[in-house]
Amino acid sequence: MTQQLHSKQVILDDTVDPIEVCYQNGWTDGLPVVPPTPERVKRMLSGTNRSAQELITSVPPKWGKATIEKIAINAVMAGCLPEYLPVILTAVEAMSAEEFNLHGVQVTTSHVSPMILVNGPIRKDLDINDGFNVFGQGWRANATIGRAIRLICTNVGGALPGELDRAAFGHIGKFTCCIAENEEDSPWDPLHTERGFQAKESTVTIFAGAGPQSINDHSSNTAEGILNTICQNISSTGNSRGETLLVIGIEHAITISGDGFTKSDVRNYIATTTKTYSEEDLLLMVAGGPAGRWSILLQGWGSPSSRAVTKRLKQ
């Protein structure tokens, strides 16, 4: 259907660079954005069957109205394709849930930021990276979907660094952070089925994550050896004791599961060994390249400040 746009338009003559206008108005994340012309926004809106004027939520701390049109504008600016839009809309719905506490995430002095975890068939449909360099550059879907969420938090929510965004340090994931789970190579059930969804369903989980911490264990050949290394990292002084995401690398996961450990066993081992985490505070998923005995730890924002939220993808 043809969507009618209601957002205010800025008319520029040919002597003005629209990218520089976005910089001057504070509409960027520090990198150049794609100018959101009406034609580009309408093309972005073709990625959903929902009305452009449907209100998803109000985004704190300035409580700007995140209509589907406003979300589409920021998706254009981030460099997204129209088919990415349903993932972005679902992520916005997830982070509007009370338990995620987006207001707190936006204004805290901590360095957490909304992080997107994608499960189900949509991962392959959109070519969202779950393997080599999963937290790095090189995949348009990962880079631009996560970036769209950051631009929405800033442009709609008004969380400008040093103003209402009071993060003392921040981290590189505040530019963009979107990954998928490597469900095919994982020896365990994926994250979304543990959270009550069917394997064939596509879901988006939003998690308030700090910067990734590398866990290096190339010497342990047993589940307990690897888990002890994980426990030493996860319980180090200064780490928050709230909800935490552990992204287990393929080689680590194969060794741990090969010794008979289920995901539940992994949680129980970490909770029992560290005595500072409850099993329900530990989110587990498998991702990353198949070579290298690494895993990644992402601290959350202290319990009960924010809890991860998972939503079924809607078109």
**CA 90 to CA 50: how far, in whole Å?**
12
Examine residue 132 and state whether it is found in any structural domain, yes or no: no
- Are residues 168 and 290 located together in one domain of the fold? no
**CA 81 to CA 315: how far, in whole Å?**
14
Mean pLDDT of the chain: 95
With a cut of 90, say whether residue 315 has pLDDT above it.
Answer: no
With a cut of 90, say whether residue 263 has pLDDT above it.
Answer: yes
Question: What is the per-residue pLDDT for 303?
Answer: 63
Amino acid present at 105: V
Question: What is the per-residue pLDDT for 6?
Answer: 85
Judge contact between 300 and 243, C-beta under 8 A. Answer: yes
Among 130, 155, 176, where does a domain finish? 176
Torsion on CA atoms 48, 51, 56, 58, rounded to nearest 10: 130
- Are residues 19 and 63 located together in one domain of the fold? yes
- Are residues 246 and 219 located together in one domain of the fold? yes
Examine residue 130 and state whether it is found in any structural domain, yes or no: no
Judge contact between 115 and 145, C-beta under 8 A. Answer: no
Amino acid present at 135: F
- Are residues 283 and 168 located together in one domain of the fold? no
Residue 276 binned pLDDT confidence (cut-offs 50, 70, 90): confident
Question: What is the per-residue pLDDT for 35?
Answer: 97
- Are residues 170 and 186 located together in one domain of the fold? no
**CA 274 to CA 160: how far, in whole Å?**
37
Examine residue 279 and state whether it is found in any structural domain, yes or no: yes
Q: pTM higher than 0.85 for the full model?
A: yes
Q: List the domain range (segments joined by +) for residue 313.
A: 179-315
Does a cis peptide bond (omega within 30 degrees of 0) precede residue 61?
yes
> Average pLDDT, stretch 40-60?
97
With a cut of 90, say whether residue 302 has pLDDT above it.
Answer: no
**CA 290 to CA 255: how far, in whole Å?**
12
Judge contact between 95 and 59, C-beta under 8 A. Answer: no
Number of domains in the chain: 2
Between 7-11, 67-71, 109-113, the lowest mean confidence (pLDDT) is in 7-11
Quote the tokens at residue 89. Answer: 């809309």
- Are residues 153 and 290 located together in one domain of the fold? no
Mapped onto helix, strand or coil, the DSSP state of residue 61 is coil
**CA 261 to CA 227: how far, in whole Å?**
10
If one compares 242 and 19, the residue with the highest pLDDT of the two is 19
